[in-house]
Amino acid sequence: MDKKLQKTVKQALLEDIGVGDISSSLLGNDYISAEVISRDRAIICGAEYFDLCFLSLDSDVEIEWKVEEGSEIVPGDVICSLYGKSQAIITAERTALNFLQILSATATQTNYLVSLIAGTNAQLLDTRKTIPGLRKAQKYAVKCGGGLNHRMGLYDCIMLKENHIMSIGSLEKSLEKALTKYPNKPIIVEVETLDQLRTALSIKGIMRILCDNFSTSELREAVKLSEGVYPLEASGGINEKNIVDYAETGVDYISIGSITKDIFSIDLSLRFI
């Protein structure tokens, strides 16, 4: 099992349990059956995190999933059933549901936006605007919902933004320095005007150009200018109300931070049966 996943779950449980669950210690710890029910329509995501919360406290807890990861659920659906000792199930309940609700919310919102632009060539990307400690989990949820991952962090891709370029002196100097120091790392360049785009298009070694806060008319012109040179990504001010307009410009990628930071947790409940 992924060590980062284990660490994330361990920290979440410790945050909730601390020195011990004093409420569940009052129970007789009998074997019980329970089930998780959805009160929302959603794309389910986070089963591995959910399972590990219970199994970390009691490896004998049995969990049977009624739906597959990435499938759509509707209100009233039984998502999974559990059987085991009451103390472990009650203690892990909240943390397990937190993972499942948050990751399912990310997958659901991603899936919704992906469905809106399905008739275009644009693909949906996430950003680094994730819940602290849950980046890998949320980026997995984005893929579960049909989206694509942007860079994981500051270490796996060079992204030259306005402040980087101003600090180094120019876009040309920034790219030369990046290519010299990190020849095997992908490079994304952020531009804010069509003139900056023209400059970026004239330089070799870029993986993708990000057009930040472009209007749809500017983006259409950008698509024409960059055709056959570099893929374009659009970002800034894009939401569910205007994403189709941006996608129809012909841009290759659209990145939106809201799919990981502005989410509403899916309403799930665990009940004894």
Please report which helix (H) or strand (E) contains residue 269, including its range: strand 268-272
Give residue for tokens 């009160």: 39
Question: How would you class 190 by CB atoms within 10 Å of its CB: exposed for 0-12, middle for 13-18, buried for 19 or more?
Answer: buried
Q: Identify the DSSP state of 24.
A: G
Direct distance between the N- and C-terminal alpha carbons of the chain, in angstroms, rounded to an integer? 31
Q: Is 212 a catalytic residue?
A: yes
The residues, ordered by sequence, that sit 6+ positions from 141 with a Cβ below 8 Å of its Cβ are: 45, 46, 103, 104, 106, 107, 110
Catalytic residue among 212, 221, 248, 267: 212
Question: How would you class 258 by CB atoms within 10 Å of its CB: exposed for 0-12, middle for 13-18, buried for 19 or more?
Answer: middle
Q: Is 161 a catalytic residue?
A: yes
Q: Is 173 a catalytic residue?
A: no
The partner residues of 35 in beta bridges, in order of sequence, read: 81, 271
Helix axes 86-116, 3-17, angle to 10 degrees: 120
Catalytic residue among 48, 58, 69, 94: 94
Specify the pairing of strand 187-191 against strand 208-212. parallel
Catalytic residue among 77, 93, 126, 190: 190
Q: Is 153 helix (H, G, I), strand (E, B) or coil?
A: coil
Catalytic residue among 16, 21, 128, 129: 129
| Count of C-beta atoms within a 10 Å radius of residue 236 | 15
Catalytic residue among 128, 136, 161, 185: 161
How far is the C-alpha of 70 from the C-alpha of 125, rounded, in Å? 17
Kindly list the strands in the beta sheet with 31-38, ordered across the sheet, starting from the edge strand earlier in the chain: 62-65, 78-85, 31-38, 268-272
**Which residues participate in catalysis according to the annotation?**
94, 129, 161, 190, 212
